[in-house]
């Protein structure tokens, strides 16, 4: 049983107060897949150009990620570059070259279509819906979106998330989607739009889970050094969904245990925190399961009273 | 055994998206004392003018707060007014009239000087130090400060907090005081300035406790309605210190139990959250102990995993 992940695979140019890289593997699908790969088998769906390096494909494969759904087409891979502010709370985009990603029309390989878990990275809502419709018998589906789709593609987005079990967005996006500043009331409204489970990401302040009339709040991990925050939200999504897939959640067989969702939020937070410790997705080259277990225990230790 | 609280007693004009009051009881000493009064006996030190209403003194007395240290002098009571932004994350000061507070030289009544607990609201560091020196055999002392004193009275402030057991400030103030953006490293630096216990308040995002090489993070309570956030930080301080006084902490008799400090942070958060539910300090007119206990349990429920 695998998790299908759809989104962008890209190259990023990054500059933070800790340094600069001109070109490093990036994209939502990359971060989600790498983070999830520590919990479950991942099948990736994305498009890259003929400049995509074998070493990068090799890195993904080394994490057991299935690349049958990685479409390689003539042209250049999606490229983005940006510079972070000194406190890393803001970033300025320098370059966005969609390249082959502009014509991304995800087609799932036959072997992907019967998998039970689907995580839709932040792409156009109509594409997310198209992927959902290619899956037969999916048990649990959810994804991410962003302010651009909420503002300019609202109807499209609403008919997309209506089919989702969970939605993962940040706090300003949740407020925008609900048209409501108070997060508790915003969450009520969003849950009525479809997703029974809502996770609101708050960056360095952690995350809130809303599910079944309850909520759970976890603070962010206090890193000694935030090296590069790129991809942390996607790694949260990957850890969250990867853990649920590992646990074999199956809502059609009755309500999901709220405690399992809480633990999924912690694993999401754990993976997001590791992501920030090196440039791009480099931390996942060396991360091992004992480090994940240790950090989970640290979350217990600094929140328990 | 009582807690001595020093700070301002004022009248405030407040405007939030929920309404407007022209003149309501306020000031750091008022909020701290009211919040602490649910845990321990409080002795207040402040100055007011001859316009100070008997009804307001009556409210404080009704909470068992000792007003022997409330100096009533000719002139007007400190007046402040401000307007909150629509999301209540920012506020604009309209009027600040220091009035009799401009000449505040706190003199402790004899009956206050042997009390074991002292909480210094945000006033000039030299005045905080003068109050500290009037207390004999104080067991546990701490307080609040603000960006103005950190920037313009730095040496004065440093020699003041050197004598404190704990310091309670917000995250931007902590970064400013330490000259360090990363909160973990900022906390290390501040603890080396004197206070063994540091609590960093993060507004709606909760608080972080640093003590003895450990840290504890609590998220903020998700209110359905934030009616008026004025005084929430002071109520946090009052709940925190009130609980420690109730528990009879005595660091000279050995290290304070870290778990007691964590619970104090929760009670601080509980009192700060109640404060926001009505204008000014009005929520404390009706609050009872069972509501405090219930909210403490809610904090457990929404943070436990």
How does pLDDT run across B166-176, given as a tens digit for each residue?
A: 999 999 999 99
Residue A159 — very low, low, confident or very high, per pLDDT cuts 50/70/90? very high
**Which residues of B lie closer than 8 Å to A, measured between beta carbons?**
86-87, 181-185, 202, 205-206, 208, 214-219, 222-226, 259, 262-263, 265-266, 299-305
Residue A1 — very low, low, confident or very high, per pLDDT cuts 50/70/90? confident
Q: Mark yes or no for CB contact B222/A206 under 8 Å.
A: no
**pLDDT over threshold 90, residue A252:** no
For chain A, percent of residues with pLDDT exceeding 70: 100
The size of the A-B interface in CB pairs under 8 A is 84
Burial per residue of A171-193, b for 16 or more beta-carbon CB atoms within 10 angstroms, e otherwise: bebbbbbbebebbeebbbebbeb
Residues in A closer than 8 angstroms to B208, CB to CB, are 219, 222
Chain A residue whose CA is closest to B266 = A305
Judging by beta carbons within 10 Å of its beta carbon (0-12, 13-18, 19+), is residue A223 exposed, middle or buried? middle
User: What pLDDT sits at residue B89?
Assistant: 82
How does pLDDT run across A182-205, given as a tens digit for each residue?
A: 999 999 999 999 999 999 999 999
Q: Mark yes or no for CB contact B305/A259 under 8 Å.
A: yes
Q: Mark yes or no for CB contact A215/B302 under 8 Å.
A: yes
CB atoms within 10 A of CB B78: 23
How does pLDDT run across A20-38, given as a tens digit for each residue?
A: 999 999 999 999 999 999 9
Q: What mean pLDDT, rounded, does chain A reach?
A: 95
Residue A255 — very low, low, confident or very high, per pLDDT cuts 50/70/90? confident
Report residue A121 as tokens.
Answer: 């990275």
**pLDDT over threshold 80, residue B267:** yes
Q: Mark yes or no for CB contact B302/A182 under 8 Å.
A: no
User: What pLDDT sits at residue B252?
Assistant: 72
Facing A182 at nearest CB: one of B185, B215, B225 = B225
Judging by beta carbons within 10 Å of its beta carbon (0-12, 13-18, 19+), is residue B143 exposed, middle or buried? buried
Whole-Å CA distances, B157 to B105, B128, B144:
17, 9, 11
User: What pLDDT sits at residue A236?
Assistant: 98
Chain B residue whose CA is closest to A216 = B302
User: What pLDDT sits at residue B87?
Assistant: 83
How does pLDDT run across B48-107, given as a tens digit for each residue?
A: 999 999 999 999 999 999 999 999 999 999 999 999 998 888 899 999 999 999 999 999
B275 to chain A, closest Cα gap in Å: 17
Facing B302 at nearest CB: one of A217, A223, A299 = A217
How does pLDDT run across B120-145, given as a tens digit for each residue?
A: 999 999 999 999 999 998 999 999 99
Q: What string of DSSP letters covers chain A?
A: -EEEEES--EEEEEEETTEEEEEEEE-HHHHHHHHHTTTSEEEEEEEE-TT--HHHHHHHHHTT-EEEEEEE-SS---EEEEEE-TTSS-EEEEEEE-GGGGG------GGGTT-SEEEE-SS-HHHHHHHHHH-SS--EEEEE--HHHHHHSHHHHHHHHTT-SEEEEEHHHHHHHHT-SSHHHHHHHHHHTS-SEEEEE-GGG-EEEEETTEEEEEPPP--S-----TTHHHHHHHHHHHHHHHHT--GGGSPPPHHHHHHHHHHHHHHHHHHTTSSTTGGGGT--HHHHHHHHHHHHHHH--
User: What pLDDT sits at residue A198?
Assistant: 98
A183 to chain B, closest Cα gap in Å: 8
Q: Mean pLDDT across the stretch A66-85? A: 97
For chain B, percent of residues with pLDDT exceeding 70: 100
**pLDDT over threshold 80, residue A253:** no
Report residue B264 as tokens.
Answer: 């104090």
Given the cut 0.90, state whether the ipTM is greater than it.
Answer: yes
Place of tokens 């009582």: B2
Best residue in B180, B181, B217 for a mutation probing chain A (most A CBs within 10 Å): B217
Q: Mark yes or no for CB contact A266/B224 under 8 Å.
A: no
Cα B108 from Cα B254, distance rounded (Å): 28
Q: Mean pLDDT across the stretch A4-18? A: 96
Going by C-alpha positions, the residue among A141, A140, A138, A178 that lies closest to residue A158 is A178
Residues in B closer than 8 angstroms to A227, CB to CB, are none
Q: Mean pLDDT across the stretch A278-292? A: 97
Q: What mean pLDDT, rounded, does chain B reach?
A: 96
Q: Mark yes or no for CB contact B218/A300 under 8 Å.
A: no
Cα A66 from Cα B142, distance rounded (Å): 57
A217 to chain B, closest Cα gap in Å: 6
Whole-Å CA distances, A253 to A250, A257, B201:
6, 11, 43
User: What pLDDT sits at residue A95?
Assistant: 95
**pLDDT over threshold 90, residue A225:** no
Cα B59 from Cα B65, distance rounded (Å): 9
**pLDDT over threshold 80, residue A256:** yes
User: What pLDDT sits at residue B1?
Assistant: 85
Facing B219 at nearest CB: one of A217, A226, A262 = A217
**pLDDT over threshold 80, residue A86:** yes
Q: Can you tell me whether residue B215 is helix, strand or coil?
A: strand
Cα-Cα end-to-end distance for chain A: 37
> With contact defined as beta carbons under 8 Å apart, do B141 and B135 qualify?
yes
Q: Mean pLDDT across the stretch A169-184? A: 94
Q: Mean pLDDT across the stretch B240-253? A: 90
User: What pLDDT sits at residue A87?
Assistant: 83
Cα A2 from Cα A140, distance rounded (Å): 11
Residue B251 — very low, low, confident or very high, per pLDDT cuts 50/70/90? confident
């Amino acid at each position: 049983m695998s998790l299908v992940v759809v989104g962008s695979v890209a190259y990023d140019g990054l500059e933070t107060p800790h340094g600069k890289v001109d070109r490093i593997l990036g994209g939502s699908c990359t971060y989600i897949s790498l983070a999830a790969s520590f919990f479950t088998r991942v099948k990736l769906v994305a498009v890259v150009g003929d400049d995509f390096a074998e070493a990068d494909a090799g890195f993904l494969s080394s994490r057991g990620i299935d690349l049958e759904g990685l479409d390689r087409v003539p042209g250049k891979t999606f490229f983005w570059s940006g510079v972070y502010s000194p406190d890393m709370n803001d970033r300025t985009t320098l370059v966005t070259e969609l390249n082959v990603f502009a014509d991304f029309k995800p087609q799932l390989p036959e072997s992907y279509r019967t998998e039970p878990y689907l995580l839709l990275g932040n792409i156009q809502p109509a594409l997310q819906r198209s992927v959902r419709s290619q899956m037969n018998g999916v048990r649990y589906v959810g994804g991410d979106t962003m302010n651009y789709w909420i503002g300019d593609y609202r109807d499209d987005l609403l008919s997309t998330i209506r089919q989702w079990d969970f939605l993962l967005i940040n706090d300003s996006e949740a407020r925008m989607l609900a048209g409501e500043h108070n997060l508790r009331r915003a969450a009520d409204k969003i849950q009525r739009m479809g997703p029974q489970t809502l996770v609101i990401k708050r960056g360095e302040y952690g995350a809130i889970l809303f599910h079944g009339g309850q909520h759970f709040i976890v603070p962010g991990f206090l890193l000694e050094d935030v090296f590069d925050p790129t991809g942390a939200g996607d790694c949260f999504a990957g850890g969250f969904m990867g853990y649920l897939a590992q646990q074999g959640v199956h809502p059609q067989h009755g309500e999901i245990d709220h405690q399992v969702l809480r633990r999924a939020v912690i694993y999401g937070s754990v993976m997001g925190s590791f992501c920030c410790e090196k440039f791009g997705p480099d931390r996942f080259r060396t991360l091992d399961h004992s480090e994940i277990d240790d950090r989970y225990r640290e979350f217990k230790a600094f929140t328990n009273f």
